[in-house]
Structure 1
């Protein structure tokens, strides 16, 4: 039996709170016509928007993957998909009716660099034509270093990509074979050096703990190899094993997965190694160099959280393109059809691909604000947020019964109307955020573990 009062929370299955309400609460009640009306009603005063483009193709499947992606050895399915996504961009831009200022563009996947270099350049050109890209706009691309070519690196620099996010996960060859992702340190270093030489200044690495056969030593060895390449940021995720949802995860033998205390120890070891190397912890799972803008944003309590994780992006509208892409407008959330055929059929018919979404209520906006501040700051002034949303602060704590239990267990402390997560419980930030979630039912395997 655990003597640590915090240990009982580590195996809870909770949302990552990249949105509130979370995607399982989206419904078909929000349709394509409604999304079209939302786009058309974006106010002229809207300062900026963000664009997310989902490229759901890879050359091989990583067994741990939780993304919507399709494996293809051929280029034609990719070319067909890109044609459809161009039509979707044209449709959305026409509905907005003006060149919306854009401050952030994110190419996600799958493997966005599965495109040919000229195809990626064409997409950036189309976006620049249909939207008003700001001079200092961040353009980010997710990259698999194993398939990155010198020509693509040069193109990324030429079209103005400012940030590259490289999947690393683990450099342990035993772990790599177990997850079907063999990637050497040399391949990764070559990608980093080539990107920097091409002018892509921001480099992010993704790491995962809790993988099959992974140990504390293999985690810290991976960190040491990564630090030699001096990336600007790290995102450190816990592997979510949900084979009922992602069938390819059945290729991972559950008996090889570290559990409970071992997972927690791996996460702590990675965090300690990164902080010892000078990286600052940012929220739940990010680490950044002290000079990184995301560190200033956290210090000044203006850090934000969206579907790409922690960000400095303050745009009022996030517009998603591609199959399964999620967007957020002032009125609520929308999600495109997940199946490639369904997505293509809707767009080819001249329609938006929206199949579900969520209309935000006043209470949703209030709780989303509380949750975002907890996730970003490890603290929230409940009274201040309540007043911002015209809610009576005196009624709030009666509506949040779980906070008393968290306080009794030493996870949070309260000072007047501010809730702060105690330093030794920051890894349970999702547990605290869940206290503000009006929709959370008993934890299910559709969410990942709190740690």
Structure 2
């Protein structure tokens, strides 16, 4: 399918169907996890993983929570500190958690995907980063064709650091930008020059990084269409392989740093839509393919190729080319996926250290998906990744009659179908070009938990 040509931006439809909803990096979503799923449950599932050649390849996620300074828009679990000795202690406990999970793990230790998120992963010193990758290699085998990625803050990284990351085995990089306009940067406490950003991107290319992604946010204070157009021009000059264009969700009741943002400085809902429309037009005209949600990629990038070939997947790191991985997660608040289960670690350093001191995995909560959950997850994945669903294939895989099983959901889709967002046929459920920007809202129709809980205030807007 040619996503690039087909994407349709209709402000009236967006206003009509723009609701609060999850981002579906998992299903059931993390807010549905329960504390009854604990460290013992995760240990059991690690042990149940199939042995020999039957087990899935692994994906590893490490959460590095430390940041030198605070960005006011940030909703991540992070610790603001200038004390670099704190990361040395954290690394020791990470090593213990890795050893404990690996000891409990049955089956293959081959890793096809690794990601360091934060916080700011490059808060770690060069020696600490090397030590972390040594720990990984002690317990796992990193496959030569794997994707090994890291999130980078260009304000704290020089050429030598990028070269060290390449040497340590990283081959993908995500660079935080958000906006190049100095007024916007000051309003969110993240002043970062174009030259700083270019240095990191050039260094990554020179040292062999295969895919470089850049993060932008629309809806930030002081933003307007003209200023964001300049930012887009600068981003296109840098020509990253992928671009993530996130909508800023202003939830100061949930995220304390956002209380430092003056709501009066934020763009209106109409201006925010105009910024999004501009960004989509400029990126697609420059040759980027709209992957879905907030992601764009060059046509020759692995994400675009995976989507064309029907191999695209969605997980806690966003879109991915590796579908059936078991995900082991390490560090505070990190979320893993093992078989039909999800588990999330405790959220504070004290709880994390305390659990590991007691030789217990630091699991806070999790869930074991039911057959119904797995069915709905496959539908949401198909819609989010491919904008279409083969009804006969789904019926065969899950032994159901689609129209009777989802009678209530299909009734709810009628209004969307009438507005041209979706088409429901005998064999295919298709998200039409006008519905692609609203695919989260379409996926929500199949979320059983939301159907029972119409209170969605805790979620951000779809757009």
TM-score by length of 2: 0.94
Shift of residue 97 of structure 1? 5.0
State the distance in 1 between where 2:309 and 2:211 align.
Answer: 21
Match of 1:297 among 287, 306, 312: 306
Please say if 1:395 is aligned against 2:407. no
Match of 1:340 among 317, 340, 349: 349
**Contact 2:35 2:365 (8 Å CA) reproduced:** yes
How many residues align structurally?
449
Please say if 1:434 is aligned against 2:441. no
State the distance in 2 between where 1:137 and 1:412 align.
Answer: 36
Quote the residue 1:330 is aligned against. 339
Match of 1:41 among 48, 54, 58: 48
Quote the residue 2:120 is aligned against. 111
What are the superposed Cα offsets for residues 148-207 of structure 1, whole Å, 9 maximum, x if unpaired? 133311111111211010000000111111111000101100111122222223211000
State the distance in 1 between where 2:327 and 2:396 align.
Answer: 26
Where structure 1 has 5 or more consecutive residues not aligned to the other structure, the ranges are: none
State the distance in 2 between where 1:424 and 1:394 align.
Answer: 24
State the distance in 1 between where 2:402 and 2:462 align.
Answer: 28
Quote the residue 2:3 is aligned against. none
State the distance in 2 between where 1:294 and 1:165 align.
Answer: 14
Shift of residue 68 of structure 1? 0.3
Please say if 1:249 is aligned against 2:258. yes
Match of 1:7 among 5, 15, 20: 15
State the distance in 2 between where 1:200 and 1:187 align.
Answer: 18
What are the superposed Cα offsets for residues 272-316 of structure 1, whole Å, 9 maximum, x if unpaired? 111111111101111111111111111122100000001102243
* Pairs within 5 Å for 1:196-345: 196-345=205-354
Quote the residue 1:77 is aligned against. 86
Quote the residue 1:450 is aligned against. 462
Shift of residue 119 of structure 1? 1.1
User: Which secondary structure does the structure 2 equivalent of 1:4 belong to?
Assistant: helix
Shift of residue 249 of structure 1? 0.3
* Pairs within 5 Å for 1:349-360: 349-360=358-369
**Contact 2:45 2:338 (8 Å CA) reproduced:** yes
State the distance in 1 between where 2:17 and 2:32 align.
Answer: 23
What are the superposed Cα offsets for residues 311-356 of structure 1, whole Å, 9 maximum, x if unpaired? 1022431010000000011131000001111011101221101110
**Contact 1:31 1:357 (8 Å CA) reproduced:** yes
State the distance in 1 between where 2:421 and 2:406 align.
Answer: 16
Q: Alpha carbons of 1:116 and 1:429: their partners in 2 closer, same or farther (altered >3 Å)?
A: same
State the distance in 2 between where 1:396 and 1:331 align.
Answer: 21
State the distance in 1 between where 2:311 and 2:455 align.
Answer: 30
State the distance in 2 between where 1:5 and 1:156 align.
Answer: 44
Quote the residue 1:25 is aligned against. 32
**Contact 2:387 2:430 (8 Å CA) reproduced:** yes
Shift of residue 391 of structure 1? 1.5
User: Which secondary structure does the structure 1 equivalent of 2:376 belong to?
Assistant: helix
Q: Alpha carbons of 1:279 and 1:33: their partners in 2 closer, same or farther (altered >3 Å)?
A: same
User: Which secondary structure does the structure 2 equivalent of 1:310 belong to?
Assistant: strand
State the distance in 2 between where 1:114 and 1:93 align.
Answer: 25
Quote the residue 2:6 is aligned against. none
Quote the residue 2:134 is aligned against. 125
State the distance in 2 between where 1:313 and 1:118 align.
Answer: 30
Quote the residue 1:409 is aligned against. 419
CA-based RMSD = 1.5
Shift of residue 98 of structure 1? 5.7
Quote the residue 2:200 is aligned against. 191
Shift of residue 395 of structure 1? 1.2
Where structure 2 has 5 or more consecutive residues not aligned to the other structure, the ranges are: 1-9
Q: Alpha carbons of 1:240 and 1:184: their partners in 2 closer, same or farther (altered >3 Å)?
A: same
What are the superposed Cα offsets for residues 396-450 of structure 1, whole Å, 9 maximum, x if unpaired? 3413131112112322122224222221221111110101111113253321111
* Pairs within 5 Å for 1:81-160: 81-97=90-106, 100-160=109-169
**Contact 2:49 2:107 (8 Å CA) reproduced:** no
Please say if 1:68 is aligned against 2:80. no
State the distance in 2 between where 1:209 and 1:413 align.
Answer: 30
